[in-house]
Structure 1
Amino acid sequence: MKETSANGFSRRDFLKGAAAGTMSIAALGALAGCAPAGGEAAKTMASTGEAAAEGSSYDVMGQLSTFNRGEAPDKVAATTAEEYIISKGDGVLSAGGGCDPLGITPADFMLNTPAWLGEAPVVDNVADTESCDVLVVGAGNAGTVAALRCAEAGKSVILAEMQTYDEYDEYACDMACYNNSLFLQKGTPEVDAMDVFNEYMRLSRGHAHQQLVRDYATRSGEMFDWMCTHIPAEYVEKYAKTSNYKGNENFNGNCCGQWSWPAMVQWRDEETNINMWPFVIRSVHSAFENAGGQMRWGYQGVVLVKDGEAVTGAIFQDVDGTYHQIDAKAVIMCAGDFGGNPDMRLDLSDQMRNLAWSYGADRTDVSAIGGMGRDGSGIKMCLWAGATMEGGPRAGQAAGVNGVPGFAFGGNWPCFGNDGKRFMNENVVKHGSNGFLDMLPEGFLMANVTDANWETYLSYQGFGHETMDRSSDYMVAEVRANMDAYVTGPDGFDVRAFSRFGKEYSTVYAADTLDELADIIGYAGEAKQNFLAEVERYNELCAKGHDDDWGCDPQSLFPIKDAPFFASFSTTGGNPSGGLCQHAAVCTDGGYRVLTGAKAPIAGLYAAGNNCGQRYGIQYATPTAGNSCGSALTSGFCAADSVIADLA
């Protein structure tokens, strides 16, 4: 192995320079490989690749490193600390142990232009062309808000949506919007937006775009209040549920170092619990049209139109197959995620692909990676125009096992596994992928247990997806009635599951003794004895006020002592779930302008919602439930402001 790079830098020089911060990026890049790119290594790569292309296998064993394997046969290991220090000389670290590349051909590995992307389509039979100031692609949360905002600023705006008017539907109704008036008017304390910002950046480990996250933390309430002025007051009064606006009286705001705040509005019908947002958002579409905007229903985006490097519009295909061109001074892409595109999901979502691989599945098989979402067409249109995807890891929203089988009324509760023992800190589970929970084998039993004090215990728990909306009296009343009418025994009883939509119920099991509850769960023999002993141990930790075993937050240590005792349990299926939508998308600057690989804005092109990357960094997380929609709406609001300013 050679220690000097093609341009004369040694690894020793590299490490000295890196420590001092003196080497240029170009110099660092030159040292990325263990051998220089030219000379014998390049010849080896070429010949290896050619052989593989002809059907031969790659010489994997020939790739192994020889670092410190006979290179200094006379070397003697130090026997004392003093000898070792002398042997290290100036003490600068040395690197090694790498190997030459196999020279894998693009056909056998990966492509800068993936097969799912290909080349931009050429459409030469456009039936008609129209023009506007601002073209918004996608009439979901982000696009609808962006279009209305621009129209109110006096811009001529066309909002194109791939669904038809009569078929239009939306995914969700949960909107986390901090310091919105619906909460503040009910007496909810104002949240420090910088606390919100810092928590999201902490959860993203710094991978998210700070300006985009700050916009969400500081402007989501403003956006929501503005949006509600365009929704009939009777809809706001009837359907906008301010989840947990009263707060949980015994919760201090922080659990195991994770902050959560009440800020989520859910658009639900009380009687049916149906998601009303797909209906309510139509009033925002109407407000847009009343402001002079034009809707184009059934318009599937095909490709962006460019003049040189600038984007000047887009071409669409209607439901009859006819192509239409819309020219614009600015285009805001809000066409949604790629979760519904199996090929994009396979290539782009490294978390889901490798999660499948960790289960022994073929990670090149699209059927091994499920998911929901849009077709990714908006992202492809941006990439053809010169955009780049945000860097990884690209995690699917809630990919993998999302958590333990909680009660219908939510909450974090002691969780017991196959052997009857507690096996985790239940407090740290958040919406998203949950690490080792993704790795549980098929048939692994997980049981949540609580006692007669379940409702009191909820008052000590956080928000997010951890607990029921205790501010909605109709929810609390029905759940309380269900629980008061409990039936002991193995058949269980039904409890309304308000965390989902519609009139769904979950089975809860009750028993007069822990011994009987263990039988219902299915514990027998040693597992049953473990369970009973573990509950006793857990209660001792609750009395102590410190979880020595798993670190549960003291405010969430709820003893299991008073009959009746309740359980909710299930077994894992042995395969990772596909999760929800995908948040990874194209790179933008702080003004939602889409960027090239050189991080220069593409003139005329903007992105919001799930076309806008870097909003979550490594993984979706919920200090407040509903921030996927809240963040999307806010990004559309702020992207519109950037467009308005740029066009001015």
Structure 2
Amino acid sequence: METNLSRRGFLTGAAVTGALAAMGLAGCAPQVSAEGNAKAADTGAATSWRDKPEMPTEFIETVDADIVVVGAGNGGLVAATTAAQNGAKVVVLEKAGAIAAAREAIGALNSKLAPDHKVDVPTLLNHANMTQSGDANMLMYKTWAERSGEMIEWMADTLGPKGMLFPFEWHAPDDEHAYYPAMCYNPCIGEYNPDGPNYNAYAHLSVLSDVFTQDLGGEIRFECPAQQLIVDEAGKVTGVVAETEGGFIQVNAAKGVIVCTGGYGANNEMLADLAPGNSAWCALRDSVTETGDGIRMALWAGAELEAGGACMIWNRAILPDGFEFNEDRMGGDIFLPGSQPFLHVNVNGERFMNEDQCYPMSYAAGANQPRHYSWIVWDGNYWEDIAQFDTCGCSRLYPAPSGTAFNADVYDCEAMSKEHLDEFWLNPRLEAGTLKKADTLEALADLMEFDADQKATFLATVERYNGLVAAGEDTDFGKPAYRLSDVETAPFYAARIGGELLVTIHGVITDVNSQPLKGDGTVIEGLYVCGNDQGGFYPHNYPSNFTGINAGRVATFARIAAKHALGVA
């Protein structure tokens, strides 16, 4: 395998297929387009996503396996490789034409790979539960916390011989109220540059796929979407019906079916039914193949869906003039600086929140304002302000001390600098007209299309905000002092910010072994649900200060599922 990707190679690979469209929850993951690949089963006149289609009666092939995995992504490839390493015959069914690509962030706690960084688990559990209004399953969080270290050690043992490195990210802002638990690993193939660039990121799933197929003899069937589960008279799942170009196939699973299909972010009907308020005000959508297949199949087999309807939504969609929200949740452009905690005002020129929020919370605050978006505003000192903000995870734009963070732009893997920020993020949006720039605040207000009253309110808001910054205390909304920045130095900038829907993040209720539960609390034998199809973690919100948690919990529970299905300790 090529282990030294050039910038040109990176930008013609992962970036083209989605690096500017979807770096993230599946660990900030660029998704491979499946247009023309995902075939719908013509087996019944289903009128709703909830309706189970008729079972096909004719099959062109029957395949026998120990473990069948549905989905070749962060969860599926971990489950498949784990099972194959334990001697199982494994078949993976993937609806797209290639495996997913994933960002480097994998969250794991208290691993031997980072012995100097210990996280207090009860503190983390309680913080996480507060982000979910008390509705998270703490047994699920506790299981991830206690077993994610073993998962990342296994991944390093499996991929290390192939040249994969696992640098650890632990930098956090110097603020007693900031809670950023040290938990993020950033795999790079062949070489890691602690100061960036890091073009060799985004490769661990490709290497894992090679291990599974080439070293362990596993099989991935691409363009082969699963349609429904095979359930015997006792209610046990014994296989999967999938569809190929030539017809239906039956894949029997002697020891278990593991479903990891990524949620339902590409299914408009499910979004409208389950997450209308969460997702309606998005101008970008990164889900492509994630049409709820795994969740629907599990529900048809008797599983329950947790309440909540949560989506992971970034505050990173920059909106053009005249933009109207639409069912497709498209029309904006990705804009990483939208996640910086600069001043936000609504369309009436009013400040309305503490801008230091998790990505979905910031999005939600803007979505609840008139016209469902907000303006982000900053001045000519933006680089110094960004350095002071010291944001973490995939929002980082200013380099952390050498060796303490990924220190590369997560969208093109270039080293972080003002020049890169200007060239890659600001100047193209200025040219497109979506980013506004003016030498005076009055002129900026005109570019923001404020009427006279709104303009007066905006100017008064900025004056008030600058006073709070000068005093070092936000007595209006309580934003921490180190994330306050005045708007006094020309030139001045503004952009409309809406939501960017990455994935859905609530799912099927399972036990800690990833087995889905029926209404009576018993498990569905033979079935495991992982990844963004699995519930328990984020019924309401994504805690984005837990860098890498989603890719980490996906991999951890997928590994747990494979071992449990095989009876391996």
User: What TM-score bracket applies, with the shorter chain setting the length?
Assistant: 0.7 to 0.9
Are positions 1:115 and 2:24 aligned together? no
320, 324, 330: which is aligned to 2:256?
330
153, 156, 159: which is aligned to 2:89?
156
Are positions 1:422 and 2:337 aligned together? no
Number of the residue aligned with 1:8: none
Matching residue's letter, 2:132: S
Q: What CA distance in whole angstroms lies between the structure 1 residues aligned with 2:230 and 2:477?
A: 56
Name the TM-score, length of structure 2 as normaliser: 0.73
Q: What CA distance in whole angstroms lies between the structure 1 residues aligned with 2:455 and 2:272?
A: 42
Deviation at 1:148, TM superposition (A): 1.5
For 1:215, what is the secondary structure of its paired residue? helix
Are positions 1:441 and 2:441 aligned together? no
Q: 1:125 to 1:179 in 2, by over 3 A?
A: same
Deviation at 1:176, TM superposition (A): 3.1
Matching residue's letter, 1:388: E
Contact persistence 1:316–1:323 (CA under 8 A)? yes
Are positions 1:315 and 2:231 aligned together? no
Number of the residue aligned with 1:175: 106
**Between 137-146 and 456-465, the greater mean CA deviation after superposition:** 456-465
Number of the residue aligned with 1:261: 181
Q: 1:370 to 1:577 in 2, by over 3 A?
A: farther
Matching residue's letter, 1:540: G
Number of the residue aligned with 1:225: 153
Matching residue's letter, 1:438: A
Matching residue's letter, 1:448: V
Are positions 1:207 and 2:122 aligned together? no
Q: 1:368 to 1:522 in 2, by over 3 A?
A: closer
Contact persistence 1:267–1:276 (CA under 8 A)? yes
Deviation at 1:376, TM superposition (A): 1.9
Q: 1:495 to 1:233 in 2, by over 3 A?
A: farther
557, 560, 570: which is aligned to 2:484?
557
Are positions 1:305 and 2:241 aligned together? no
Deviation at 1:145, TM superposition (A): 0.7
Contact persistence 1:458–1:467 (CA under 8 A)? no
Contact persistence 1:394–1:618 (CA under 8 A)? yes
Deviation at 1:456, TM superposition (A): 6.0
Q: What CA distance in whole angstroms lies between the structure 2 residues aligned with 1:622 and 1:570?
A: 23
Deviation at 1:593, TM superposition (A): 1.0
Number of the residue aligned with 2:15: none
CA RMSD of aligned residues (A): 4.2
Number of the residue aligned with 1:589: 511
Q: What CA distance in whole angstroms lies between the structure 1 residues aligned with 2:163 and 2:432?
A: 26
For 2:356, what is the secondary structure of its paired residue? helix
Paired residues in the alignment total 491
> Cα deviations across residues 355-413 of structure 1 (Å, max 9, x unaligned)?
57xx9xxxxxxx999965512222222222222222x2212221898799987395312
Number of the residue aligned with 1:364: none
> Cα deviations across residues 260-305 of structure 1 (Å, max 9, x unaligned)?
235444567989977953x431221222245645213123212222
Q: What CA distance in whole angstroms lies between the structure 1 residues aligned with 2:93 and 2:86?
A: 19
Contact persistence 1:231–1:284 (CA under 8 A)? yes
Number of the residue aligned with 2:31: none
Q: What CA distance in whole angstroms lies between the structure 2 residues aligned with 1:453 and 1:641?
A: 49
**Between 307-316 and 455-464, the greater mean CA deviation after superposition:** 455-464
Are positions 1:339 and 2:277 aligned together? no
Q: What CA distance in whole angstroms lies between the structure 2 residues aligned with 1:226 and 1:369?
A: 33
Equivalence map 1:534-545=2 (5 Å)? 534-545=461-472
Deviation at 1:247, TM superposition (A): 3.5
353, 361, 376: which is aligned to 2:292?
376
619, 629, 641: which is aligned to 2:541?
619
Contact persistence 1:313–1:329 (CA under 8 A)? no
Matching residue's letter, 1:216: W
Q: 1:407 to 1:519 in 2, by over 3 A?
A: farther
Q: What CA distance in whole angstroms lies between the structure 2 residues aligned with 1:318 and 1:469?
A: 47
Deviation at 1:634, TM superposition (A): 1.9
Q: What CA distance in whole angstroms lies between the structure 1 residues aligned with 2:477 and 2:149?
A: 37
Matching residue's letter, 2:419: A
Number of the residue aligned with 2:80: 147
Q: What CA distance in whole angstroms lies between the structure 1 residues aligned with 2:349 and 2:515?
A: 53
Matching residue's letter, 2:296: K
Q: Which has the larger radius of gyration?
A: 1
Q: What CA distance in whole angstroms lies between the structure 2 residues aligned with 1:611 and 1:530?
A: 45
Deviation at 1:599, TM superposition (A): 1.6
Q: 1:410 to 1:437 in 2, by over 3 A?
A: closer
Q: What CA distance in whole angstroms lies between the structure 1 residues aligned with 2:225 and 2:78?
A: 19
Q: 1:304 to 1:266 in 2, by over 3 A?
A: same
Q: What CA distance in whole angstroms lies between the structure 2 residues aligned with 1:368 and 1:431?
A: 14
Q: 1:623 to 1:370 in 2, by over 3 A?
A: closer
484, 496, 521: which is aligned to 1:571?
496
Number of the residue aligned with 1:397: 312
Contact persistence 1:121–1:303 (CA under 8 A)? no
129, 132, 135: which is aligned to 2:62?
129
Q: 1:585 to 1:519 in 2, by over 3 A?
A: closer
Matching residue's letter, 2:226: G
Matching residue's letter, 2:292: G
More contact order relative to length (CA 8 Å, sep ≥ 6): 2
Number of the residue aligned with 1:65: none
Q: What CA distance in whole angstroms lies between the structure 2 residues aligned with 1:372 and 1:441?
A: 29
Q: What CA distance in whole angstroms lies between the structure 2 residues aligned with 1:143 and 1:370?
A: 19
Q: What CA distance in whole angstroms lies between the structure 2 residues aligned with 1:283 and 1:527?
A: 54
Contact persistence 1:400–1:438 (CA under 8 A)? no
Deviation at 1:229, TM superposition (A): 2.6
Matching residue's letter, 2:300: W
Deviation at 1:161, TM superposition (A): 2.3
For 1:602, what is the secondary structure of its paired residue? coil
Contact persistence 1:496–1:505 (CA under 8 A)? no
Q: 1:557 to 1:133 in 2, by over 3 A?
A: same
Deviation at 1:495, TM superposition (A): 4.0
Matching residue's letter, 1:570: A
Number of the residue aligned with 1:282: 206
> Cα deviations across residues 10-66 of structure 1 (Å, max 9, x unaligned)?
xxxxxxxxxxxxxxxxxxxxxxxxxxxxxxxxxxxxxxxxxxxxxxxxxxxxxxxxx
Gaps of 5+ in 1: 1-112, 360-366, 484-493
Number of the residue aligned with 1:4: none
Contact persistence 2:198–2:415 (CA under 8 A)? no
Number of the residue aligned with 2:123: 195
**Between 378-387 and 532-541, the greater mean CA deviation after superposition:** 532-541
